[in-house]
Amino acid sequence: MKNKSIGTKCVQAGYTPSNGEPRQIPIIQSTTFKYDTSEDMGKLFDLEASGYFYTRLQNPTNDYVAAKIAALEGGTAAMLTSSGQAANFFALFNICESGSHIVSSASIYGGTFNLISVTMAKMGIDVTFVSPDCTDEELEAAFKDNTRAVFGESIANPALTVFDIERWAKAAHAHGVPLIVDNTFPTPVNCRPIEWGADIVTHSTTKYMDGHGAAVGGAIVDSGNFDWMANADKFPGLTTPDDSYHGITYAEKFGQGGAFITKCTAQLMRDLGCIQSPQHAFILNLGLESLHVRMPKHIENAQAVAEFLENPPAVTSVSYPGLKSNKYHERAMKYFGNGGCGVVSFELKGGRSAAEAFMKKLRLAAIETHVADARSCCLNPATSTHRQLSDEQLIEAGIPAGLVRMSCGLEDKEDLIADLEQALN
Ligand SMILES: *Cc1c(COP(=O)(O)O)cnc(C)c1O
């Protein structure tokens, strides 16, 4: 599948049945796998042979789907996790430990912000957040001797900031550490961060990849491009023997293309157990089969909605990277060639009461704390996710009280616009 184009990979990569095998990916609904001898099984435990023994670590259904996502992103290896949160935690914790430091874009998903700044801080992992629009000097100043990873989101949820992947990758590599990019919003159909220098790519597959609001999940992809051995002192977990696997050194035994995901599976999945269920992996794969057909429609709808919202006097501002007026338009064209995702945010005159009244009137877009669904949905952060903040705090956080985030689904754009029009009136 390496030389096939993205749509063909969406449909067929990851699973190739042999003569007489099921055409569709089989759901291997089994916690365990049977062996004839304990020697056979022992080899699996020692990572001497590859195979399955317990679904907390690996399951064939998941691996077919992970292989498809690796092909889509242009990586060498991938794994599925139970959620996007687990994917970002595993990707970071696979190379960070107590005493490590992370440089992260400040404009990221709230859940990831809390994960890094609160929960990982309790584990002794320190972070410096930097604006995605910082100067080179500000970015440079964020690095410390104990920095082990750089993190950002290709399009931030919900701020819709576009991340300059190439620039941040160069800065990370100059300091001998990898760049991890959460590529949930654009998906590999619109952006493949590895092509711009990212080393590890993560996903909340809950969003566009599933695309039907049906299954929570996550994924981690390794580019195979980061040379762990050349930076061995920084990453002892990959470059020195693992006593829990008879002294295997991951970067030696599995090479540059396999070390990261093997260690993440063998240690983190074994010990923390955030596996995606094979049922969810099957549902995720159904979503992936149409990802390349759905993404252009989400973007067409978002572009039309954003352009419509530039005119009504009740709307004070619209944010969508596909708009020429958007601060990130040029960067979005470079990395995505379009607006990049189906999410648009806009501010209504009259603050939270206007936003609430407006959303109540919408007939197609339902009020939900979700995005990237086939069905359009919307949210007013001031009365939901950010309701503990005062008006002043909301403005400071860049989320004015009248802000509405709308995720444009797969309905026809004429109907979405007509719905917005009647609600605004
Ligand atoms: C939703 C989301 C997450 C978290 O994913 P879950 O599947 O909800 O755990 C992480 N990153 C981004 C960009 C997201 O939109």
Distance CA 352, CA 391 (A): 9
Distance CA 377, CA 384 (A): 14
DSSP states of 275-339: PPPHHHHHHHHHHHHTHHHHHHHHHHHHHHHHHHHTS-TTEEEEE-TTSTTSTTHHHHHHHTSS-
Residue with the two structure tokens 């403005």: 395
Distance in Å, CA 210 to ligand 1 centroid: 12
Distance in Å, CA 216 to ligand 1 centroid: 9
DSSP states of 398-424: T--TTEEEEE--SS-HHHHHHHHHHHH
Distance in Å, CA 419 to ligand 1 centroid: 28
DSSP letter at 258?
H
Ligand 1 probe mutation, 90, 116, 191, 207, most atoms within 8 A of CB = 207
Residues 6+ apart with CB under 8 A from 109: 153, 156, 157, 158, 182, 184, 204
98 CB-contact burial (10 Å; exposed 0-12 / middle 13-18 / buried 19+): exposed
What token pair was written down for 336?
């995505």
- pLDDT at position 256 is 96
Distance in Å, CA 316 to ligand 1 centroid: 28
Return per-residue pLDDT of the chain as tens, 425 residues.
778 899 999 999 999 999 999 999 999 999 999 999 999 888 888 888 888 999 999 999 999 999 999 999 999 999 999 999 999 999 999 999 999 999 999 999 989 999 999 999 999 999 999 999 999 999 999 999 999 999 999 999 888 999 999 999 999 999 999 999 999 999 999 999 999 999 999 999 999 999 999 999 999 999 999 999 999 999 999 999 999 888 999 999 999 999 999 999 999 999 999 999 999 999 999 999 999 999 999 999 999 999 999 999 999 999 999 999 999 999 999 999 999 999 999 999 999 899 999 999 999 999 988 899 999 999 998 888 888 778 887 777 778 899 999 999 999 999 999 999 999 98
Where does the chain hold its CATH 3.40.640.10 domain(s)? 6-286
CB atoms closer than 10 angstroms to residue 419: 18
Ligand 1 probe mutation, 85, 119, 345, most atoms within 8 A of CB = 85
3-state class (DSSP) for residue 189: helix
- pLDDT at position 386 is 81
By alpha-carbon position, which residue is closest to atom 5 of ligand 1?
A: 84
- pLDDT at position 44 is 86
Ligand 1 probe mutation, 80, 104, 108, 109, most atoms within 8 A of CB = 109
Compute CA 404 distance to the chain's CA centroid, rounded to the nearest angstrom.
Answer: 22
DSSP states of 326-374: STTHHHHHHHTSS--SSEEEEEETTHHHHHHHHHHH-SSSEE-S--S-S
Which CATH number among 3.40.50.2000, 3.90.1150.10, 3.40.50.300, 3.40.50.150 corresponds to the domain 292-424? 3.90.1150.10
Closest atom, ligand 1, to C-alpha of 205: 7
HSE-CB of 172 using CA atoms within 13 angstroms: 28
What token pair was written down for 383?
């009365």
Distance CA 288, CA 271 (A): 29
Distance in Å, CA 257 to ligand 1 centroid: 26
Distance CA 322, CA 326 (A): 7
- pLDDT at position 91 is 98
Closest atom, ligand 1, to C-alpha of 108: 13
Which CATH number among 3.30.413.10, 1.25.40.10, 1.20.1070.10, 3.40.640.10 corresponds to the domain 6-286? 3.40.640.10
- pLDDT at position 4 is 87
Contact (CB, 8 A) for 362 and 315: no
- pLDDT at position 2 is 72
Name every protein residue with a CB atom under 6 angstroms from any ligand 1 atom.
83-85, 109, 111-112, 153, 157, 182, 184, 204, 206-207, 216, 218
Query: Cα separations (Å) of 223 from 181, 195, 217, 410?
Result: 11, 9, 20, 31
Residues in the chain: 425
The helices-and-strands tally (H runs, E runs) of the chain is: 19, 12
The pTM assigned to this predicted structure is: 0.96
Residue with the two structure tokens 């160069």: 170
By alpha-carbon position, which residue is closest to atom 7 of ligand 1?
A: 84
Distance CA 5, CA 192 (A): 13
Where does the chain hold its CATH 3.90.1150.10 domain(s)? 292-424
Distance in Å, CA 204 to ligand 1 centroid: 5
Structural Rg of the chain based on CA atoms: 22
By alpha-carbon position, which residue is closest to atom 8 of ligand 1?
A: 84
3-state class (DSSP) for residue 252: helix
Query: Cα separations (Å) of 90 from 48, 79, 80, 309?
Result: 23, 10, 11, 39
3-state secondary structure 140-180: HHHCCCCEEEEEEECECCCCCCECCHHHHHHHHHHCCCCEE
